Amino acid sequence: MAQPELYAMNSADWEYEYSAMMRNQKPGETYPSLTPFYLVDHPEGTVLIDTGTSYEMLENPADYGPYGAGYIDEFAADEIEMSEDGKAVNQLADLGYDPAEIDTVVMTHLHLDHTGDIREFPDSEFVVQQDELEYAWWPADPIQQNLYVEGDFGVFHDAEYSVTAISGNYDVFGDGTIECIPTPGHSPGHQAVKVELEEAGTVILAADLAFTQRAYEEELQPAFAWDTEYAIRSNRRVHNLERKEDAAVYLAHDREHFEELPDPPESLV
């Protein structure tokens, strides 16, 4: 029987302000981050984890989505480097996957650097924490407001798209191979994804639980975290899971973590 394979791809390079990633650390410096997404090819189906950054938004932010995202020009556009080839749907095509072949899309959360190609997968089942869905439509914090772009996830209102709203842990195939683990704090419905692989063992794709290994080890949270106390609790939860299951933890925005993963078409097995 075929075994699950994990592919890691990067949609865009994003130069983050270091002190925003880790509150009050290295003011004035930047960090060369990235916006990855992942594919797990499982014997029971294909699972995409996040969808990267939107190329269309960066090309024409003022007309992106029902309300536009013109603030992106000032907020982040100069800090992002992306080509059309970086779109999730195009990188999947390079691997030989058509959008219709993606059975499930797990969203770790709905910030703009994770939601860019949602609309390209109308045949997929989207798995999102209920708390994240509710907050994304009306975020109270002004900085968080800039991170949720309706042009990305607004298609969830369309009957063509199927969304499974979950609360708590969720086993995608019911066999323990791919499990969503709630890790609120960075956003209300942030979740990590635990993947069991035959050779690599337990892998935790921790998304934005922390921005770098140092932040993960020292419990350093970004200035714009939805709730710092919840974020630290989630950080500790993943630490405990890492120790208990001898897991490898990969943070989405840590470039060294990403570079440890094989370059497609190679995969982690």
- Specify the pLDDT at position 66: 86
Q: What is the pTM of this model?
A: 0.95
Six-digit token pair at 167?
A: 């609360």
Question: Is there a contact between 114 and 186 (Cβ–Cβ < 8 Å)?
Answer: no
pLDDT at 18: 76
How far is 133 from 69, CA to CA, in rounded Å? Answer: 19
Among candidates 80, 77, 17, which has minimal Cα distance to 223? 17
Instruction: For each of the domains in the chain, give its residue range(s) and CATH number, in order of start.
Output: 5-260 (3.60.15.10)
Ordered strands of the 170-171 beta sheet: 170-171, 178-182, 191-197, 201-207, 248-251
47, 104 Cβ separation under 8 angstroms: yes
97, 44 in Cβ contact below 8 A? no
- What pLDDT is attached to residue 266? 97
* Cis preceding linkage at 36, omega within 30: no
Mean pLDDT by 10 residues, the chain (269 residues): 90 85 80 95 97 94 86 72 96 97 98 97 98 95 90 95 98 97 98 98 98 95 93 98 98 96 97
In the prediction, which pLDDT does 103 show? 98
So what's the pLDDT on residue 78?
Answer: 63
